[in-house]
Amino acid sequence: MTDNKFKFGNLHLKNAKEVSEYTDRLITETEALITNTIPDKLFSLDKINKEEFLKYGSDISAVSSDVIFPKEALDDMAIVHINSDTPISKKRKLENNEDGVMNNHFSIPCNKKLIHLIDLIKPEIKDVIETCEKIQMWISLLIPRIEDGNNFGVSIQEEVLNEVHRIQNESVTYLDAVSRYFITRGKIVSKLVKYPYLDDYRRAIKEVDEKEYLSLQFSINEIKSHYMLILDVISKNYEKLKKPRSSNNLESMY
């Protein structure tokens, strides 16, 4: 075994010195992440909320966008869906697939305002997930070997580990919500392409856009709360996380 600070019990590892140095570096970097990066995240997320969300105020309808078809596309759709006297050959040319979508290709853009917000928030979701992963590894490396008695500090480590894992799982759901938004909106838009004169579909698109806006705002505030909770639970239990079996722990049990 090496004489490094991090020990591997009775294992004789290949490249044990390098592995030990890697684990020491991981512990140091994670502690710097907790003390430096997470506080910065709190302020940067608050800035995003103020600059990108609060500017809309209570009028969230401003974030929605109507679906506008090119004039030639509307003309073609009118031929297919309204004019029953159109020659069969013309109809077949336009109704080229079972969904009734015409051959003429045109693009219906996404909601640009929401795309901008999503592009801002997705990296933040990724960061909080990765932060939780690093903190879980940090705590796991600090857990001592299994022994009888004096496990009060170890139980605290496990509780904090479970809480960070919960936060990570919850953060992953924010990414699922983004993909579900595009799928839902795309289905409604495809219906609008088929039935362009039904205003209910247009209203449904607006409702989906507004719901996604509120979901994104909720996500950014929840991520901020997650960071705050991580800081709080670690700061209150930092000594026991670092030294779960110190002599002070033993004394506090009596």
Confidence of residue 72 (pLDDT cuts 50, 70, 90): low
Residue 189 · residue 198 · CB < 8 Å: no
Confidence check: pLDDT of 135 > 90: yes
User: Using CA atoms, how far apart are residues 114 and 208, in angstroms rounded to an integer?
Assistant: 11
Domains and CATH numbers, the chain: 44-65+111-252 (1.20.120.180), 68-107 (no CATH)
Q: Which amino acid is at 236?
A: K
Span 173-182, pLDDT tens digits: 999 999 999 9
Confidence check: pLDDT of 82 > 70: no
Q: What is the mean pLDDT of the chain?
A: 81
What's the whole-number mean pLDDT along residues 143-154? 79
Q: Could you tell me the pTM of the whole model?
A: 0.78
Please count the CA atoms within 13 angstroms of the CA of 151 that sit on its side-chain side: 8
Span 198-239, pLDDT tens digits: 899 999 999 999 999 999 999 999 999 999 999 999 999 999
DSSP H or E segment with residue 236: helix 199-236
